[in-house]
Amino acid sequence: MPESPSLAQRVLRHQLLWPVLALVVLVLVNVVAKPSFLDVRMQDGHLYGNVIDILRNSAPVMLVALGMTLVIATRGIDLSVGAIAAIAGAVACTRIIGAGDEAALSTAVMAMTYAVVVCVVLGVWNGLLVSVLGIQPIIATLILMVAGRGISMAITDGQITTVNNPYFSDIASGFVLTLPVAFLVAVCVLLLAAVLTRRTALGMLIEAVGINPEASRLAGVQARTITWTVYAFSGLCAGLAGLVIAANTNSVNANSLGLWIELDAILAVVIGGTSLMGGRFSLAGTFVGAIFIATLARTIPNIGIPSEINYLFKAVVVIAVCLLQSPKARALLRVRRPGAPTPVLAKAGSPA
């Protein structure tokens, strides 16, 4: 056996290295532009500051991205999460309005539970299309992505629906133990996912299914169950994200709620190091990735670029991150050692 690598080597080879490094660089850029960027102050029993805002704003994307991570690990993708979030917001808000006491705690709880259940069912629908009917994930979830917007608009009948319920608003703007509730919800889901995947065999089985589905099937892995579980979980996460977003504005605009959030989520997953080809995944990486994206959104007003540049910035970041992760690009940057052929087709065959 090779001798155990030193601590420095282990750090350098750790899969979290690149995402954390990217985040650190981004934060440094911000601090250089405005040294008070990282300042946090206590007020009214809560923490305030850029960092806190970032944590809170990262919640929706983080929630969606956590669900997305597991789906991607099974070689799938879930494009419908934005639509599911919109449906969650629409269902919750219409339920709150339709209830007897609009501002009651029980109303909020019931409406949110109902919304989440609907989203889990939608997730199971996706899972069934993929696992039972064997439809490609990209197209299976594309269906709900397209139809789901229509459904959410049908629920609100095309109107922007406003609600007035302090408990509901608290999800987005409240604080518990000095931290934003929204962020804590996301962290809870992260912990739940981590326990589910690493303390049980679910993580390993998901990875096996993602890396070689047929071998897993022949080894007795019931991929079907695993598949619709991850899509159901993705639906759950999207639903929670939708509630947070709706609670933020105390309203739901079915046309725009969660629009394109799937792209940000996929970005977060990719930045975090999970491969789009499926297989090994990293929830911690996704966590860092989501924070990265939220920090990026903050960076733009912070260093004084007009907000229209947001898209441009994201484009540059996506390209930079992918290039960093691409082994080919990394090989270009390193000095070419003699005797290191890049066997492009080695992927097609097996060694020797």
Partner 1 sequence: MTQMKTPPEVVPPADGDRSPVIEMRDISITFGAVRALDDVSLRLFPGEVHALMGENGAGKSTLIKALTGVYTIDSGVVLVDGERHEFHSPAASQAAGISTVYQEVNLVPNLTVAENMLLGREPRRFGAINVREMNRRARRTLLHLGIDVDPRTVLDEHPIAVQQLVAIARAVDVEAKVLILDEPTSSLDADEVEKLFTVMRRLRDEGVAIVFVSHFLDQIYEIADRMTVLRNGRLVEERMVADTTQLELVRLMIGRELETLDRLDRVAANTDAETGTPLLKAIGLGRKNTLEATDLELFEGEVVGIAGLLGSGRTELARLLFGADTADTGELTFRSQRRRLRSPRHAIDRKVAFSSEDRKAEGVVGDLTVADNMLLALQASRGWLRPIPQSTRTRLVKEYVEALDIRPADPNALMRNLSGGNQQKVLLARWLITQPEILILDEPTRGIDIGAKAQIQAKVAELAAQGLSVVFISAELEEVLRLSDRLVVMRDRRKIDERTNVDVSVRDVLEIIAGEARREDDSDA
Partner 2 sequence: MSSITAPTTSPWDRVKGFTPPPRYLPIIATFALFVGLFGVGGMRYDGLTDPQVLLSLLIDNAFLIVLGVGMTFVILTGGIDLSVGSVVALSTMIAAKTLDMGWSPYLSIAAVLVTGTLLGLLMGLLIHYFDIQPFIATLAGLFLARGLTYLISVESISIKDATFMDLAFRTVYFGEYYIRWTAIIALVVVAVAAYVLARTRFGRTVYAIGGSESSAMLMGLRVAFTKVGVYVISGFCAALAGLLFSLYILSGNSLHAIGMELDAIAAVVIGGTLLTGGRGYVVGSLLGVLVLGIIKTLISFDGTLSSYWIRIITGVLLLAFVVVQRFATRRRT
Residue 337 sits in the site that holds partner 2 (CB under 8 A) = no
Complex with partner 1: residue 41 or 199, whichever CB lies closer: 199
d(CA 266, CA 160): 28
Interface with partner 2, residue 144, by CB under 8 A: yes
Question: Minimal CA–CA distance to 76: which of 269, 288, 272, 258?
Answer: 269
By the 8 A CB rule, do 231 and 76 touch? yes
Select the binding partner of residue 263 from partner 1, partner 2, none (C-beta < 5 to 8 A, by kind): partner 2
Candidate residues 154, 176, 191, 195; the one interacting with partner 2 per rule CB under 8 A: 154
Which DSSP symbol is given to 347? Answer: G
Q: DSSP 3-state assignment of 352?
A: coil
Task: Answer for the pair 65, 197: CB distance below 8 angstroms, yes or no.
Answer: no
Letters for 179-218 (x = contact with partner 1 by CB under 8 A, - = none) are: --------------------xxxx-xx-xx--xx-xxxxx
Contact of residue 8 among partner 1, partner 2, none (CB under 5-8 Å per partner type): none
**352 CB burial (10 A radius; 0-12, 13-18, 19+):** exposed
Which range binds partner 2 by CB under 8 A, 182-190, 203-211, 229-237, 322-330?
A: 322-330
| Ranges assigned E (strand) in the chain | 40-43, 46-49, 161-162, 175-176, 179-180, 251-252
349 binds partner 1 (CB under 8 A): yes
Instruction: Note whether 319 binds partner 2 by CB under 8 A.
Output: yes
The helix (run of H) or strand (run of E) holding residue 90 is helix 81-98
Residue in 348, 350, 351, 352 binding partner 2, rule: CB under 8 A: 348
Residues at the contact surface with partner 1, assessed by CB under 8 A: 1, 199-202, 204-205, 207-208, 211-212, 214-222, 226, 279-280, 338-341, 343-345, 348-352
